Chain A
């Protein structure tokens, strides 16, 4: 899936230094601006049907890796290829609007996640049922409590089963009852999706569900192996 992928983030630069760099470019000396390495030399290939967990400290490049897979970031070098439709769950409820009703937001968020009208029309009954927002679904979204908003988001996000599912720590919102049900639903979603890549800090969950795991450090794949190996390594390094 990923081949020699490298990604660099440009750092903030003052106008003077930009001008200087351009000038030196004019006289033939090519200099690149200050950068932060996002990902460097990533080679991963994930098979159909695999569940792969990604761990690592904050800022180690886990989310960047997922975003490169989802096509949000274009790598500076290397190549990303996928087979099938891909869906990234991160920051549930992206693009939902306060003034629209719950129902309208379901359609909006569903289409943002890449589903077409026919799919959404088919799923909307189940989504409303799962979110338990029956009485409020035609009220404006701004009148919802934050728990209700999250519930609606999760319900939409987990309703469709894509070929490749990328999950970026979205588990665990709402009251305990809903939390349990939504975790169950994400688990069944992962079972039904062909391929899953999940970023999470809950090692227990990862150990249980993953076929392989990746540990990221400073934008590189530190180790790729069985869950036991990787978690062991993580504890060795982090102490």
Chain B
């Protein structure tokens, strides 16, 4: 019945026009098929072509966080510093550990691990958190996840300034080994973003994923070098213990250790295969994440 009415409408008025127009070659497909292997490039080119939007959204996120706070952006410095102080006191009480650089190690661990955990969680929830906006605007969905992740990265960069007083106090000078700092941040960022992209679509269908990951990142704090350092483990277990390789399966161990050494101006002692793993992990999860995200994210929009 409905069909008949509809066909009548078309056949009387527009049959000629529509048959002429069908599949006009210059029409752009709204949902072009992206070959799996091209997904990472597609994500990067989408971010590039929307960089102005991305910038505005990062600005908005930063503003939202601290605009009305009396201390404003100072909180990005205060937060890790206060947190590190609490851990330091705890650890001194429990382990009675004496080392003058230890507070700075904790601080850098807090900053590095904090960035990783927050990017994982915010990327996973990036689709569900922005459901209102996603359903009213058509731009690429990776903008949302990237905007929150880049916001975290910017905050981390700001908060790194809190290390300067520690460096002065310990008489540390910046050395050429400081190059490890940006490298390690890129490794942490890419790993966290990739892991987040893998699970972002799934989190829309099953919000349990987000809850589970909030637990995983909380527990991950203890198996990551925040309160401890890689060197402490080597000291305890011996350099050729199998435990070292197991611990190094955690993708944040190498980057966080690199951050610490970059400030101290020393080179960390890693085996070659550990370094290869630490570099390959971010690349692998990023590629996998963009593949899964590109394939599934647009389809889950109607479930938001």
A-side interface residues toward B, CB under 8 Å?
1, 3, 7, 9-10, 38, 43, 45, 47, 67, 69-75, 79-83, 86, 88, 90-91, 94-95, 97, 99-100, 104, 107-108, 111-114, 116-117, 120, 140, 212, 217-218, 220-226, 229, 233
Contact = CB atoms under 8 A, between A and B. Distances in A.
7 contacts: A7-B302, A45-B17, A74-B301, A97-B63, A104-B63, A108-B59, A120-B52
Contacts of B29: 79-81
Contacts of B18: 43, 45
A108 B57 CA distance: 7
Interface of B: 2-3, 5-6, 8-10, 12-14, 17-18, 21-24, 26-31, 50, 52-53, 56-57, 59-60, 63-64, 67-68, 132-139, 298-299, 301-303
B63 to A, nearest CB: 5
B10 A43 contact: yes
B27 A82 contact: yes
Given A74-B31, A100-B63, A224 B10 contact: yes
Given A10-B302, A38-B302, A71 B23 contact: no
Contact of B63 (A9, A80, A99): A99
Secondary structure class of chain B's binding surface, majority of residues: helix
A131 B145 CA distance: 32
A111 B24 contact: no
Contacts of B52: 111, 116-117, 120
Secondary structure class of chain A's binding surface, majority of residues: mixed
B299 A72 contact: no
Given A71-B30, A71-B138, A224-B6, 18 more contacts: A9-B302, A45-B18, A71-B31, A72-B137, A81-B24, A81-B27, A82-B27, A88-B136, A88-B138, A97-B63, A99-B67, A104-B59, A108-B57, A111-B56, A222-B2, A222-B5, A222-B6, A223-B5
Nearest to A107: B56
Contact of A91 (B50, B136, B139): B136
A225 B13 contact: yes
B118 to A, nearest CB: 20
B132 A74 contact: no
B23 A220 contact: no
B173 to A, nearest CB: 40
Contacts of A43: 10, 18
A121 B176 CA distance: 41
B51 to A, nearest CB: 9
A82 B21 CA distance: 11
A220 B68 contact: no
A67, A72, A90, A108: residue with the most chain B Cβ atoms closer than 10 Å: A72
A113 B138 CA distance: 9
A80 B59 contact: no
Contacts of B30: 69, 71, 74, 80-82
A70 B137 CA distance: 8
Contacts of A221: 6, 9
A218 to B, nearest CB: 8
Contacts of A224: 6, 9-10, 13-14
A222 B9 CA distance: 9
A95 B137 contact: yes
Contacts of B53: 111-112, 114
A217 to B, nearest CB: 7
